[in-house]
Amino acid sequence: KAGDGNGGTDAAAQCGSGKEFLIGMSQANNAEPYRQVMNDDITNAAKDVPGFKVVVSDAAQDNSKQVADVENFISQGINLLIISPNEAKPLTAVVKKAYDQGIPVIVLDRKVEGDAYTAFIGGDNVAIGKAAGEYYAKTLLPQGGKVAEISGLPGSTPAAERAQGFREGIASNPKIEIVATQTAEWLREKGQSVMDAMLKAHPDIDAVYSHNDPMAEGAYLAAKAAGKESAIKFTGIDALPVPSGGIKAVEQGRLQATFQYPTGGREAIDMAKKILVDCQKDVPKTTTLGTTQITKENAAQVYTELGGKQ
Amino acid sequence: MTERPLVRMTGIGKRFGGVQACRDIDLTITAGEVHALLGENGAGKSTLINILSGVITAYDGTIEVDGRPVSFAGPVDAQRAGIATIHQELDLVAGLSIAENMFLGREPRTRLGSVDIRRMRRQAAEHLRTLGADLDPRRLVGSLRVGEQQLVEIGRALSLDARVLIMDEPTAALADAEVERLFETIAGLRRAGVGIVYISHRMAELEVIADRATVLRNGRLAGTVDPKTASRDEIIQLMVGRSVDALFGEGRNEPGEVLLDVRGFAVTPRRPTPGRTEPAGVDLTVRSGEIVGLAGLMGAGRTELLETLFGAGGSGRRTGEVTIDGRPYHPHGPRAALARGVAFVPEDRRGAGLMLEHSVAENVVLSALSSLTTLGVVRRQAVRRTVAEQLTSLAVKAASPAVAAATLSGGNQQKVVFAKQLLTQPRLLLLDEPTRGVDIGAKAEIYRLLHRLADTGMAILLASSELPELRSLCDRVVVLHRGRTVATLPRASATQQAILAAANGDDAKETR
Amino acid sequence: MNPPNPTAVEEAPAETPPPRRPSLRLPRDRHALVDNFFRFQSLFGLVAVFLIAIAVSPVRNGENIFLSSGNLANIVRAVSEIGIIAVGMTFVILIGGIDLSVGAVLGLAAVGSATLMVDSGLGILPTVLIVLLIGTAFGATQGAIVARIGIQSFIVTLAGLQAARGIARMWSGGLGIPIAYGDGPQEAPEAFSLLSGSINGVLPVPAVLFIAIGIGALLLLRTTAFARHVYAIGGNEKAARLSGVPVRRVRIAVFAISGLLAALAGIIHAGQLNQGSPNDGSGYELDAIAAVVIGGTSLAGGSGSMGGTIAGALLLGILNNILALNNIDANVQLVVKGLVIVAAAALQKLRPRIS
Amino acid sequence: MNPPNPTAVEEAPAETPPPRRPSLRLPRDRHALVDNFFRFQSLFGLVAVFLIAIAVSPVRNGENIFLSSGNLANIVRAVSEIGIIAVGMTFVILIGGIDLSVGAVLGLAAVGSATLMVDSGLGILPTVLIVLLIGTAFGATQGAIVARIGIQSFIVTLAGLQAARGIARMWSGGLGIPIAYGDGPQEAPEAFSLLSGSINGVLPVPAVLFIAIGIGALLLLRTTAFARHVYAIGGNEKAARLSGVPVRRVRIAVFAISGLLAALAGIIHAGQLNQGSPNDGSGYELDAIAAVVIGGTSLAGGSGSMGGTIAGALLLGILNNILALNNIDANVQLVVKGLVIVAAAALQKLRPRIS
Ligand SMILES: Nc1ncnc2c1ncn2[C@@H]1O[C@H](COP(=O)(O)OP(=O)(O)OP(=O)(O)O)[C@@H](O)[C@H]1O
Ligand SMILES: Nc1ncnc2c1ncn2[C@@H]1O[C@H](COP(=O)(O)OP(=O)(O)OP(=O)(O)O)[C@@H](O)[C@H]1O
Ligand SMILES: [Mg+2]
Ligand SMILES: [Mg+2]
């Protein structure tokens, strides 16, 4: 293919230490804590690399806006693009455009189609969902039980994949039953009101599988208001190393467990350094980041490891 | 006059909620006649013609046009049947031009289907010219004075080439010159065999143009007279059910101290607004207990002067001197004016005077709320009592104080605005065309009220386009021309000729 | 010079009594009945949705889940923030304006509450006062721009929305600030968590606040001169100004009230969720406006009632609740909600209209 | 003093014919000048923002990045969808209504385009026609509810928003439907990808469509009777009705136009992004309304211009672009954008006002 192998050559030609590099980070939206942490990871990591300057744009969940953001980066003449696409297909073309112009592109978290990018770094939502499911099947509810699922925004890939992986994970334990699924659109307060209603309709829920930590926390609050917070087990996903994140919630006992969905921010800057400063030509095309299961035992330790501030 | 009536309305009745606006009314309109419709405010005149023009579609009785019974589903049906109407309330679209308003809903098209703007403008200009109005058809209606808007309404009705033309108080906002031109036009239409229904509260007009007069009272037919032969008292007797002469009474006190003193007053706007005539050298005084009239041609700047004195005028640099009780007076807003005891009744009661959808009671007390509250809480009992008193004292005809102001007849709406301002207990009352659309009985009541107020020491400054009104009501008449005082005529010398001559100013000599 | 004698105005007609003309009267009683019926019309939609909800609610062990006291309390708690915002929005809409910034101000206030208590270590009272002040000032600023420059409130508050959201994100570093309770540093006073509690274990505190504020506003709107001014400005601004209504001041006050109540909702939000997050409250403005309009208040200004708004907010809450209780698919929920909102609004149209 | 003589009151004016007097005239020419100046006032904000953008644009290799043809083309492309929606919205706002459903209709249309071409294997023309028809019908339905039942358009279209979003999600199964090009099954005709291309490599196709539609609408609004009816309904509905303007029909038509253009924007959206995603277009309604209002159209209806809307859309686009080019922090951007929007709206206020 035309772009293959040519992408990133211009910038690579200018590589070397002691130079200034402008890195554009196109973020799908800043409203999700996960993405805010990703931005913070990137900017913090970049501070340690002399010559790196990172600018972050916020597409506010709008594919078109993100296309325009990348176009603007190209106009400005960035040396490297990091992008966490809102959705794969709509951003494929503009990512390819950047790549074809010789700008190295690191795709984070969500993929684009084809291979017109330098590298992809991301977690695996199906695997995370599956890990959560297996945790339910083996550790949390080995005797089986009724599970309520609070899902992310309908139509978003992570929501679909975390649902799918979970079902694969619990398949080994047929006594686990998903009795209700409601969306809370990734939001804490919606998690609360959805849980309110679910508790009414299904007062005998044993556990709540939430697609992210904030919704799990919201559900916990609802259960607490109903006096059921100790009878029900809550798990989340994301495990952000920030005070409002899931690790702290596990540490403080509100959540039973959470599963890390890595931001890949540090890894992206590491790779950018390899490309721009070290002039390395052959970075791995795909880096899949693993997940860590966080329970009360390891919460404090993981929090420190991930550089979370107290 | 032909024998067969163009329109025959039989047994017409109409109820609004609890109000019987019309009851068993018969009316015929014959080709080539001017048929006057008379009655007090709220007698049911507008309701009757709204039925005929298709605005009101649910009513009792029958309408025949050319002997065939009709039932209009809307105003367009009536227009198709050859009935054109000039409604009492100006219903024009402010954001469209004169031409666009005149042809709204029946725009001439080019072959391409677009609006033939040139033809529209040309025809609009023609119709306006027959009325003696030399207005640029491209001007936005929102920038026109009320009188000019009235002419546009008339022009619009004329452009329909109707066989029956209904005019509901067409002259209410017109000055004499325009009225005269309108009469010429009406005479022409009559000769062409158009049947005309003419509603007006100006009795003198009827004697000039009406062939027949039907009088309504309280929604019923009170009688039919020939205005050329019947005496005015006779007609008034039919309308009001009593003689009006008896309504006038007592003598007047001598005026007191000078209350309002205006010397060389002018406003220089930062950016001139087209169509506004800001004060440009006004001298006048009003004493306590005195009624002073403001005369002038359309656009002479009377309205603007009153608005400015009330703090509601245009912005701009002020020069000259205005004092009240000898102390400087620079109202920067209606609140400041009200605080100094100045009240204002605007001429555009619907646009500037009333909250039409709100109740009569809410309208009446709005200006005086502060005197009816304790710690910001409205004293309901006091409000109810005050409203009742005011409505009685001004003889406002309303089903109840709780009905929306929009449901009142025009004259009664005017009285509500009046009541609102009087409640502030002003010392200086500014009135802009206070009797526009007010029936003769109510007019007399308003005059009597004004005299009574003046007798209590109130100073009144009143702008009016009806010269007879100025002459009979005022102690002095100040004539404005292009925003400038050109004459101050004491009562004795304020003849029609003198006022008109002054009002025309140098203008007549200059241009013609 | 004698000052005008006010009594003369009213006495005078007695001297020469013009023949009293019988003014046409309504048969009072019948109309009073019909009138009273339609006065409570903003409740029609609510009652209808309530009855439907009872009918379609799942039943467990013979108990109608929807009607269970816990569920009803949840409903009111869930709408309390939107409801409080909608109360402020009612004033704004009554003067013919709109306030799109409320959701963002809620977010800003939530962040403010958390930051001031947790990071700055302030007590509850100073925190609440400062946050309410911020909200009020923000609203008043918007009101001043609307009233003085004369820009349409839609634009001003749309800009305000963006600004408030931006400030909230900058203030919080883009992340939610969790609120831990206790006496230590970085901890908020325990009392603040009362906002997520209930009175007697039945009445959620936010619900009580909503109802109290709603009733207060209802009384305010029925009894005060301020309220009359609000209606007058919405009814005919020019007439109001000429009648001596302090139009600008009332306008600014109205936007300030809206900002104040949005900030209060933000404090409650933070208390309920134990967190102040800068992105919270997005889209709340539309829900609040919907509550107001379903309650029968006209977006053109000048007519509407606070009772209607409260009913509208409860209606929306019941709707969300019953759809969730029945475990309706989220997408179907959206469609059903759209239809019910229109149907509820159509119900309000039963009122007999003027002219 | 004499009591006034009642008969004198009505003295006939006809007896002494007053001399013909010329009514006072403005100096025409000067005013025509001022008028023409202010007529293009909706451009003031645009020109100001444009000049500022040039001034603050970063410069690379001596080239003003903002002014580079590629960048200018990007700006117009980026606003083209909002712009097309805003054109339809202008009609709605001119009649005093509002259409909150446009963003959701855009999403629905994008899903429709993708599904019909990819899953149902339809050609471009049938697909486009069906999608436009869906949008038009959706808009017309909303218009009919507004016009016939008399519910405020805010509520009807807010419900429409939810319904359209729900339908789009159900239709697409909740996920974006990617569009692959080719002749095979599950592939869309190659020609559809033209929507993401440019003419001569310079003019993006969506930008051309936006400009064409804008000019078309501008002419429509200047020349047709329909346009006058639109203004009349917004300016004075009663007058319009009395004049025989088919108020209901015009109302329905206006919402249908808005739906049609939103659907068109959805097709373009799908073509540009090679995907039909049910969540796309959320929040576009506010951007479109902002463009219309910044363009000087009053939300009260009856006054405004299409040129203003186009200028407003471009202004927003330039604003987004220049903030991004200068690498302003996203949160600061929000605040700055808010301020600039208010400033732009304030500029429009220079116009001398009627009444
Ligand atoms: N839409 C309405 N709803 C309720 N009552 C109405 C309505 N229109 C008119 N009325 C009532 O019907 C009666 C007749 O009103 P109408 O407007 O016909 O009087 P009018 O003779 O034209 O008076 P005026 O000379 O003041 O214009 C009045 O009592 C008025 O209050
Ligand atoms: N272009 C305009 N812009 C703003 N206000 C206007 C404009 N033209 C007229 N007005 C206002 O509209 C009203 C209508 O004027 P009106 O027809 O009453 O004039 P008039 O009473 O005949 O003349 P006068 O100026 O002597 O009162 C006045 O309040 C005037 O200030
Ligand atoms: Mg009348
Ligand atoms: Mg005047």
Interchain touch A–C (≥3 Cβ pairs closer than 8 Å): yes
Which residues are registered as beta bridge partners of D60?
D63
| pTM to 2 decimal places | 0.86
Q: Which ligand is nearest to the CA of B50?
A: 1
**Mean pLDDT, range B75-79, rounded to an integer:** 89
Looking at the partner chain, which of B104, B232, B496 has a beta carbon nearest the beta carbon of D16? B496
Region of residue B289 (phi > 0: left; psi between -120 and 50: alpha; otherwise: beta): left
Q: β-pairing, D275-276 with D177-178?
A: antiparallel
Q: Is B42 in the pocket of ligand 1 (CB under 6 A)?
A: yes
Residue D28 lies in a domain: no
Residue C36 lies in a domain: no
Q: State chain B's mean pLDDT as an integer.
A: 87
CA-atom Rg of chain B in angstroms:
23
pLDDT confidence of residue C325: 85
Q: Which ligand is nearest to the CA of B147?
A: 2
Map chain A to HEC letters: CCCCCCCCHHHHHCCCCCCCEEEEEEECCCCCHHHHHHHHHHHHHHHCCCCEEEEEEECCCCHHHHHHHHHHHHHHCCCEEEEECCCHHHHHHHHHHHHHCCCCEEEECCCCCCCCCCEEEECCHHHHHHHHHHHHHHHHCCCCEEEEEEECCCCCHHHHHHHHHHHHHHCCCCCEEEEEEEECCCCHHHHHHHHHHHHHHCCCCCEEEECCHHHHHHHHHHHHHCCCCCCCEEEEEECCCCCCCHHHHHHCCCCCEEEECCCCHHHHHHHHHHHHCCCCCCCCCEEECCCCEEECCCHHHHHHHCCCCC
- Rounded distance between C-alpha atoms, residue C10 and residue C12, angstroms: 6
**Secondary-structure percent of chain C, ordered helix, strand, coil, rounded to 5:** 70, 5, 25
- In the block, tokens 């546009």 appear at B152
* DSSP per-residue letters across D172-225: HTTS-EE--BSSSTT-B-GGGGGGGSEETTTEEHHHHHHHHHHHHHHHHHHH-H
Domain range for D124 is: 79-350
Shortest-distance Cα residue to atom 11 of ligand 2: B145
**Residue B484 has which token pair?**
């400038």
Looking at the partner chain, which of A30, A180, A243 has a beta carbon nearest the beta carbon of C178? A243
Nearest alpha carbon to residue D149 among D280, D273, D248: D248
% of chain A surpassing 70 pLDDT: 95
Is the CB of residue B430 less than 8 Å from the CB of residue B399?
A: no
Query: How close B231 comes to chain D (CA, Å)?
Result: 11
Contacts of C324 in chain A (CB under 8 A): 182, 193-194, 196-198, 201
Cβ contact A200–C320 (<8 Å): no
Residue D114 lies in a domain: yes
pLDDT confidence of residue B338: 93
List the subunits that have 3+ CB pairs under 8 angstroms with B: C, D
Residue D311 lies in a domain: yes
User: Could you report how far apart the first and last alpha carbons of chain D are, in Å?
Assistant: 40
**Residue D239 has which token pair?**
């007058």
Q: Is B146 in the pocket of ligand 2 (CB under 6 A)?
A: yes
Q: Which ligand is nearest to the CA of B148?
A: 2
Q: State chain C's mean pLDDT as an integer.
A: 85
Is the CB of residue C131 less than 8 Å from the CB of residue C125?
A: no
Nearest alpha carbon to residue B188 among B228, B213, B207, B161: B161
Q: Is B347 in the pocket of ligand 2 (CB under 6 A)?
A: yes
**Would the pLDDT of B244 be above 80?**
no
Q: State which residues of chain A have pLDDT below 70.
A: 1-13, 310
User: Could you report how far apart the first and last alpha carbons of chain B are, in Å?
Assistant: 39
**Mean pLDDT, range C164-168, rounded to an integer:** 95
Q: What is the pLDDT of residues B37-51, one digit of tens each?
A: 998 888 899 999 999
Which CATH code for domain B256-341+427-512?
3.40.50.300
pLDDT confidence of residue C353: 44
Containing B6, the helix (H) or strand (E) segment is strand B5-16
- Decide if B180 touches D, using CB distance below 8 A: yes
Contacts of D294 in chain C (CB under 8 A): 155
* DSSP per-residue letters across B176-234: HHHHHHHHHHHHHHHHTT-EEEEE-S-HHHHHHH-SEEEEEETTEEEEEE-TTTS-HHH
Cβ contact A217–C273 (<8 Å): yes
**Mean pLDDT, range B421-448, rounded to an integer:** 87
pLDDT confidence of residue B143: 81
% of chain C surpassing 70 pLDDT: 86
pLDDT confidence of residue C15: 35
Contacts of B452 in chain C (CB under 8 A): 8-9, 12
Q: Is B274 in the pocket of ligand 2 (CB under 6 A)?
A: yes
Least confident piece of the model among A9-18, C63-72, C201-210, D102-111: A9-18
In a 10 Å sphere around its CB, with 0-12 CB exposed, 13-18 middle and 19+ buried, how is residue D183 labelled?
Answer: exposed
User: Could you report how far apart the first and last alpha carbons of chain C are, in Å?
Assistant: 48
pLDDT confidence of residue B509: 38
Task: Considering only the C-alpha atoms of chain D, give the largest distance between any 2 of them, rounded to a whole number of Å.
Answer: 103
The environment of the single-atom ion ligand 4, i.e. residues with CB closer than 5 A, is B 303
Least confident piece of the model among A65-69, B158-162, C240-244, D27-31: D27-31
Looking at the partner chain, which of C4, C25, C228 has a beta carbon nearest the beta carbon of B425? C4
- Decide if A77 touches D, using CB distance below 8 A: yes
Q: What is the ipTM of this complex?
A: 0.84
pLDDT confidence tier of residue D36, bands split at 50, 70 and 90: low
Looking at the partner chain, which of D152, D167, D293 has a beta carbon nearest the beta carbon of C293? D152
* Contacts with D78 (C-beta within 8 Å, 6 or more apart), sequence order: A64, A65, A67, A68, A71, D317, D320, D321
Ligand 1 centre and the CA of B19: distance in Å? 9
pLDDT confidence tier of residue B253, bands split at 50, 70 and 90: low
- Decide if A92 touches D, using CB distance below 8 A: yes
% of chain B surpassing 90 pLDDT: 43
- Rounded distance between C-alpha atoms, residue B147 and residue B302, angstroms: 13
Nearest alpha carbon to residue A93 among D262, D168, D180: D180
CA-atom Rg of chain C in angstroms:
23
Looking at the partner chain, which of B251, B298, B508 has a beta carbon nearest the beta carbon of D3? B251
φ and ψ at residue C23, rounded to 5 degrees: -75, 145
Cβ contact D229–B104 (<8 Å): yes
**Mean pLDDT, range D85-99, rounded to an integer:** 96
Ligand 2 centre and the CA of D293: distance in Å? 29
Q: What is the pLDDT of residues A227-262, one digit of tens each?
A: 899 999 999 999 999 888 999 999 999 999 999 999
* Chain A residues 224-283 with a CB less than 8 Å from chain D: none
pLDDT confidence of residue C70: 84
pLDDT confidence of residue D131: 97
B362, closest residue in chain C (CA to CA) = C228
Residue C12 lies in a domain: no
Residue from D5, D16, D21, D221 whose CB has the most chain B CBs within 10 Å, to mutate = D21
Q: What is the pLDDT of residues B471-500, one digit of tens each?
A: 888 899 999 998 999 999 998 888 888 888
Cβ contact C244–B335 (<8 Å): yes
Shortest-distance Cα residue to atom 6 of ligand 1: B407
Is the CB of residue C102 less than 8 Å from the CB of residue C266?
A: no
C160, closest residue in chain D (CA to CA) = D338
Q: What is the pLDDT of residues C110-135, one digit of tens each?
A: 999 999 999 888 999 999 999 999 99
- In the block, tokens 């030609």 appear at A13
pLDDT confidence tier of residue D13, bands split at 50, 70 and 90: very low
**Would the pLDDT of C237 be above 70?**
yes
Q: What is the pLDDT of residues C265-277, one digit of tens each?
A: 999 999 988 889 9
Cβ contact D155–C290 (<8 Å): yes
Ligand 4 centre and the CA of B355: distance in Å? 21
B394, closest residue in chain C (CA to CA) = C13
Residue D61 lies in a domain: no
List the subunits that have 3+ CB pairs under 8 angstroms with C: A, B, D
**Would the pLDDT of B90 be above 80?**
no
Q: Which ligand is nearest to the CA of B299?
A: 2
Looking at domain B5-246, its CATH architecture is 3-Layer(aba) Sandwich (3.40)
Instruction: Report the atom number in ligand 2 closest to the C-alpha of B149.
Output: 17
Interchain CB contacts (distance < 8 Å): A and C? 96
Per-domain boundaries in chain B: 5-246, 256-341+427-512, 352-425
* Chain B residues 105-164 with a CB less than 8 Å from chain C: none
Ligand 1 centre and the CA of C12: distance in Å? 27
**Would the pLDDT of C148 be above 80?**
yes
Contacts of A157 in chain D (CB under 8 A): 175
Q: Higher model confidence: residue B380 or residue C24?
A: B380
Residue C21 lies in a domain: no
pLDDT confidence tier of residue D318, bands split at 50, 70 and 90: very high
Q: Is D327 in the pocket of ligand 2 (CB under 6 A)?
A: no
Domains B5-246 and B256-341+427-512 belong to one CATH topology: yes
**Would the pLDDT of B412 be above 50?**
yes
Cβ contact A189–C269 (<8 Å): yes
D5, closest residue in chain B (CA to CA) = B472
**Residue C57 has which token pair?**
């609610």
Residue C29 lies in a domain: no
Q: State chain D's mean pLDDT as an integer.
A: 85
Ligand 2 centre and the CA of B361: distance in Å? 29
pLDDT confidence of residue D300: 83
Least confident piece of the model among B132-141, B187-196, D5-14: D5-14
Nearest alpha carbon to residue C116 among C106, C105, C129: C129
Between vectors from CA A304 to CA A302 and to CA A309, what angle results, nearest 5°? 130
φ and ψ at residue D73, rounded to 5 degrees: -60, -40
Number of domains in chain C: 1
- Rounded distance between C-alpha atoms, residue B374 and residue D14, angstroms: 55
**Residue D177 has which token pair?**
């439907």
CA-atom Rg of chain A in angstroms:
21
**Alpha-carbon distances, residue A172 vs A137, A138, A166, A205, A256 (angstroms):** 7, 9, 11, 20, 21
Nearest alpha carbon to residue B140 among D303, C319, D110, D53: D303
Helices C124-144 and C247-273: crossing angle, nearest 10°? 140
Query: How close D58 comes to chain B (CA, Å)?
Result: 39
**Would the pLDDT of C181 be above 50?**
yes
Q: Which ligand is nearest to the CA of B414?
A: 1
